[in-house]
Structure 1
Amino acid sequence: MNDLIKVDESGKPTAKELYEFLSPNDKSHYSRWAKTNIEDNEFYQKGVDWWGFATVANGNETKDYKLTIEFSKHLCMLSRTERGKQARNYFIEVEKRYKKIASPETVSLQAKAKNAEARLINARRKDAEFLLEVAKQSKTLSSESRELLTINAVERIAGEGFLPRPKVDKLYSATDIAEENGLSPNMVGRIATKNNLKIDQYGITVLDQSASSAKQIPSFRYNEAGRQALLKAIADA
């Protein structure tokens, strides 16, 4: 539907917009028209059918009015012109549109959508708080892992990935190195601990999902230098 006359978010036009549509060639009598048809109208009430307010254009203050759709249709009928008929039909369509928006079904769907959005935002906030708490409290995580947790927390709330990640070299888990050498991951872990290889020089500590619960547990990832040192320790074992 084309907007013949501007309306606000609730479908209300202003008297000035309506008058200029009804009388495009006679804008000089707006004030008199407004007083006669709006302020002095005994059938339509201030604060119920219309609301006055002031506007300033080119340094001059002009009084304008917000009108209900019902009052707007009445003013269109008073004009007794083809443009008045056209405007009235337009307001009938506006009324249908806004009644549909305000229907119980529409309101219910909007409420459900807002409720779902609120739950999603709350879930993201809780996720972010958890990640920040882990980054703050963990004594074993590397600085890179804490930085990644903080970035992920911010992006959980923002809902998008836009922050740069710290540059991290290729990393190897104990399982990766165990498979490479025909050992168990537990054996690789014991050799690394015995040779004091789980240090910043040789990799970083990250969080992995526990195989037996929903908890996340610290796990060391080896960089290439750590891998080489661990391979040598395995060979010497």
Structure 2
Amino acid sequence: MSELIAIQTNDNMEQVISARELHEKLGIKERFSLWFERIQKSLNIKEEIDYCRHTYTNSNNQTFNDYLLSIDIAKHICMMSGGENAHAIRQYFIQIEKAWNSPEMVMSRALKLAEKKILSLEEERQKLLPKAEAYDTFMDASNLQPMNDVAKCLGIGRNKLFALLREKKIIRSNNTPYQEYIDRRYFEVKEKPIKMGESVINYAQTFVTPKGVDYIARIVEVEKKGA
């Protein structure tokens, strides 16, 4: 079958054609922009449903606005236009659709969509893998984790994490947890003696248990979704 009009395939595996090329092949004398505006109103076609915006670059490297039309809409336009060219182009579109909807082509498209989905999922998995591995280290660890390390693992800044936990009434203004959360075994507070001149003061440092990391991770996830 000779190609009367170039057929393209969009990201959704749908066949589309250039409105500018259709305008030219139909031999329409009316200016393209006025013609397309008239077509829009006559057929009540909707952007992102029946067509999408596109740009067209000619052989002189000039760029023009264009629209990619579904084959079905293109057939309707041919019927409206009338004339020998319109009839031949419409018949061409009918043959294109018939071939496109053959069992072999349907199966081929299904396989391509499946491959595309698998690639997308693999890319997402690769992005999440370092974070997941770090998180598993926390969950499997028997030792306690400093808040700085927890913030880094969960992909949130230390100060932002402290602010969030203070807002949720989980830690106090001095960044130590309320007793309720210590009792739940989410945190442990260890005092470390620090010598300052002749004096020795006890510095309280908050550590997070593996159970606490899981609890904080859920809070952070909810916060990100609501942002």
Q: Which has the larger radius of gyration?
A: 1
Q: Decide which structure has greater strand share.
A: 2
Q: TM-score, normalised by structure 2?
A: 0.42
Tell me the TM-score normalized by structure 1. Answer: 0.40
